[in-house]
Amino acid sequence: MKARKINLTITGCLGRMGQQLIESARKDKRFKISSLTENEAQKKKISGVLPQVNSPEAFKYSDIIIDFTVPKCTLEVLKIAVKQKKRVIIGTTGFTFREEKIIKKISRKIPILKAGNMSLGINLLMYLTEIASKSLGNNFLSKVFEAHHKFKRDYPSGTALMLGQGIAIGKNKNFHGIIGKKYLNKKKFPYGKRINFNSVRKGKIIGEHEVLFSSGKEIIKLNHEAFDRALYSEGALTAARWLMKKKPGLYSMRDLMNFK
C-alpha cells in the first residue's frame, strides 16, 4: 500500500529559508505542500499555492508546520498549532528565556522539534565538541572560528555560539560565564581560558565552522563546511518525517540522531 504524503505548511515562505524549504519539499515525493504563509497575504501563487497569513484556516489541512521566521511569528504559529494539535518544526533562533519557557509549556500538548541548526553534520560536530572538551579537560584552551557570506550581519553565528556551548557542556561550566572575546575578520585570534570567537564575513560563503583545542604542544581541530543551503532544508524535512511518529514533547536534532 502506498504511504500517504505528509501535508506540509511552510511559514515565512518568501524568506531565504522558506524558499529553500519549498524547493526541497517539491523534490521530495513524501511531502505535499498544503499551505504557505507570510506576514501579509499574497496575490501570486508559489508552486501552485497562494500564501496566506497565519490562521487556523491556513493550518487546517496540515500534518506538520515548518517555521524558520522570527520569535514573534513562531509564537503566533504555536498558539494556533496547539489548538489544532499540529506538529511543529522550529528553526527560528533568538528566543528570550521567557519565550523558551512558553515553547516548552506548549510542547506538553503537541510534538515540537526545535533546533538552531538543522544540518545533521553540524549536530554531529556539536556532539563531538562536547566529547572532545570533556576528554581533553582544562589542560587545553579552546576557540571557535566561523565564516559566512558578506550579507550576514550578526556575529558570532548562532551555530558558533552553539559550538561554544558544546565546549562549556564538556567542561561542565556555564557557557555565559566562559564567553571570551568576539572578533570580526581577524587573520589570527588567540586561544584562551575563556572561549574566543572569530567571525569572517566575505563573498558567498554558505557556512564554515571550526572548533580548536590547544595544549601548546598539540592542536585538535573539528570542522564542518557547508556547500549547499539545501542541507538545512533537507535536515528540516528529515526532522519532520521523524516527528510524525512522536508523542507531545520538546525534541532536538540530538534526539533524532539518537545521541546519548
Same domain, yes or no: 106 and 167: no
Same domain, yes or no: 141 and 170: yes
Residue 151, SS3 per DSSP: coil
Q: How many separate domains does the chain show?
A: 2
Q: Answer yes or no: is 1 within a domain.
A: no
pTM for this structure?
0.85
Q: Residue 25 sits in a domain of what CATH number?
A: 3.40.50.720
Q: Answer yes or no: is 209 within a domain.
A: yes
Spot the catalytic one: 5, 32, 109, 152. Answer: 152
> In the annotation, is 32 catalytic?
no
> In the annotation, is 152 catalytic?
yes
Spot the catalytic one: 86, 114, 143, 148. Answer: 148
Same domain, yes or no: 210 and 188: yes
Q: Residue 150 sits in a domain of what CATH number?
A: 3.30.360.10
Same domain, yes or no: 128 and 108: no
Same domain, yes or no: 56 and 105: yes
Q: Answer yes or no: is 251 within a domain.
A: yes
In degrees and rounded to multiples of 5, residue 218 shows phi and psi of: -155, 155
d(CA 42, CA 36) in angstroms, rounded, equals 10
pLDDT one digit per residue (tens) for the chain, 260 residues = 667 899 999 999 999 899 999 999 999 999 999 999 999 888 899 999 999 999 999 999 999 999 999 999 999 999 999 999 999 999 998 889 899 999 999 999 999 999 988 999 999 999 999 999 999 988 999 999 999 999 888 889 889 999 999 999 999 999 989 999 999 999 999 999 999 999 999 999 999 999 999 999 999 999 999 999 899 999 999 999 999 999 999 999 989 998 86
Q: 213: domain range? A: 120-226
